[in-house]
Amino acid sequence: MAATVFHQALATLQSNCYLGVSGLSQENGNASFRLISKGVKLDINLLGRRTYCSRKRTFSIIEASTSQTTIFGSVSSPSNGATSDSGKKSSEAALILIRHGESMWNEKNLFTGCVDVPLTKKGVEEAIEAGKRISSIPVDIIYTSALIRAQMTAMLVMTEHRRKKVPIILHNESEQAKAWSQIFSEDTHKQCIPVVTAWQLNERMYGELQGLNKQETAERYGKEQVHEWRRSYDTPPPNGESLETCAERAVAYFTDHIEPQLLCGKNVMIAAHGNSLRSIIMYLDELTSQEVISLELSTGIPMLYIFKEGKFIRRGSPVAPNEAGVYAYTKVCGFFRDHHLKGIR
């Protein structure tokens, strides 16, 4: 009986893209995952071993215990943010990456890192302009960091989208937060886009450099030392993160939570930060540690990838009217130069 219920639930999860790596067990031991869809909640306990390979995109589940079903009377968003009206698998999906617009500490030339600083007026304008660039590209789910400058950027971008769906930040931090933020209209729910916030997409933590002026820091410690802290792959600033450490958490989150959405044909937008996005691009384009340290990302300029047949195809930056689109470049190797997008679907 347990096996039958489990396989039925698993089929439902896979067909609606509710199954992500985060819902599976650890290498050994017990775990569970929850599905909330169309008034039904399934709590399923998993036992045994699982395997997952992000590049081959395969996974396996060995065993399941008994499960329990409870009926709900309300319309509720899935815990992983998937929308109920776009669960069909597709042969391809869009992935949009956007570095947040200019922040108030960008303007002051201060090391920001994980300090939660809002956008400037220019940053707001950059986000709105980014929205115009991607207004024709479908978006089914949005991921942002836990920092306000990335969240502001995501929200402002969607004000320009042609589909006029409303981005709704999911609050899964507690059972009360989930209950209080439920949507009880199915029609309204269909006109919303879930926004998932994740600290793993935060900017690199700059440690004792946070809040310091970049120019004054270079004068104090020397330009070469500060350059190494900022641009090396594995050398962190004092009590901070290296790009390597930032990449470990950002890429792990991408493969565990975001890539499964793309596999199911969901169109995804990520609004995040220079170093977390550099880390993800390193994974998407299979860059080396030497190539990624020369990668520069402009604020407020979107980059489009198409996920097709298990591969990420870089399409460059959607171009606004009468304006060239350049998102990122390397000073040494010449990657990402002047990639213009033609024929956005």
Three-class SS of residue 94?
strand
- Taking 80 as the threshold, does the pLDDT of residue 256 lie above it? yes
Give the span between the Cα atoms of 313 and 305, in whole angstroms.
5
- Inter-axis angle of helices 148-158 and 121-133, to 10 degrees? 50
Give the residue-averaged pLDDT of 310-325: 68
Structural tokens at position 119: 């956008």
Write out the E strands in the chain.
30-37, 40-53, 58-71, 92-99, 141-144, 166-169, 192-197, 268-272, 295-297, 302-308, 311-316, 328-330
- Strands of 186-266, DSSP E: 192-197
d(CA 84, CA 335) in angstroms, rounded, equals 38
Burial state string for 180-190 with b = 16 or more CB within 10 A and e = fewer than 16? eeebeeeeebe
Residue 128 reports pLDDT greater than 70: yes
- Least confident range of 42-51, 239-248, 251-260: 42-51
Q: How many residues does the chain have?
A: 345
The verdict on pTM exceeding 0.75 is: no
Mean pLDDT of 248-254: 98
CA dihedral 303, 287, 275, 310 (to 10 degrees): 50
Q: Tell me, rounded to whole angstroms, the distance of Cα 54 from its chain centroid.
A: 15
Residues of the chain with pLDDT > 90, as a percent, come to 62
Residues of each annotated binding site for substrate? 99-106, 112-113, 149, 203-206, 214, 230-231, 274-275
- Residue of 147, 173, 133 whose CA lies nearest to 276: 147
pLDDT band at 319 (very low <50, low <70, confident <90, very high): low
| pLDDT for residue 89 | 55
Task: Give catalytic status of residue 129 as yes or no.
Answer: no
To the nearest whole number, what is the mean pLDDT of the chain? 77
Output the pLDDT for position 151.
98
31-40, 69-78, 107-116: the lowest-pLDDT one: 69-78
Name residue 193's beta-bridge partners: 167
268-272 and 141-144 as β-strands: parallel, antiparallel, unpaired?
parallel
Q: Per the residue annotation, which of 100, 189, 273, 339 is the catalytic one?
A: 100
- pLDDT for res 204: 97
Can you name the residues that pair with 272 across neighbouring β-strands? 99
Round to whole Å and give the CA distance between 19 and 17: 5
**Both structure tokens of 152:** 């502001």
Listed residue (157, 138, 139) closest to 149, CA to CA:
157
> What is the structure's pLDDT at 90?
58
Distance CA 127, CA 320 (A): 13
Rounded to whole angstroms, how far apart are CA atoms 285 and 259?
14
Q: How confident is the model at residue 318 (pLDDT cuts 50, 70, 90)?
A: confident
Q: Which residue among the candidates 126, 129, 203, 259 is catalytic per the annotation?
A: 203
Tens of pLDDT, residues 7-28: 554 444 444 454 443 333 333 4
Give the tens place of pLDDT for each residue, 262-275.
Answer: 999 999 999 999 99
Name the most confidently modeled range: 4-13, 34-43, 316-325: 316-325
- Whether 203 sits among the annotated catalytic residues: the reply is yes
Query: Distance between CA atoms of 278 and 168, rounded to whole angstroms?
Result: 26
- The predicted structure's pLDDT at residue 317: 80
Question: Which residue, among 92, 83, 138, has the nearest Cα to 268 in the 3D structure?
Answer: 138
Q: How does residue 153 score in pLDDT terms, banded at 50, 70 and 90?
A: very high
119 SS3 class? strand
The closest alpha carbon to 83, from 198, 170, 23, belongs to 170
Tell me the range of 57-66, 285-294, 334-343 where mean pLDDT is highest.
285-294
Rounded Cα gap, residues 32 and 23, in angstroms: 7
pLDDT of residue 17: 56
What's the Cα-to-Cα distance from 163 to each of 92, 133, 135, rounded to whole Å? 20, 14, 8
Six token digits for residue 122? 């220019």
The answer to whether 225 and 179 have CB atoms below 8 angstroms apart is: no
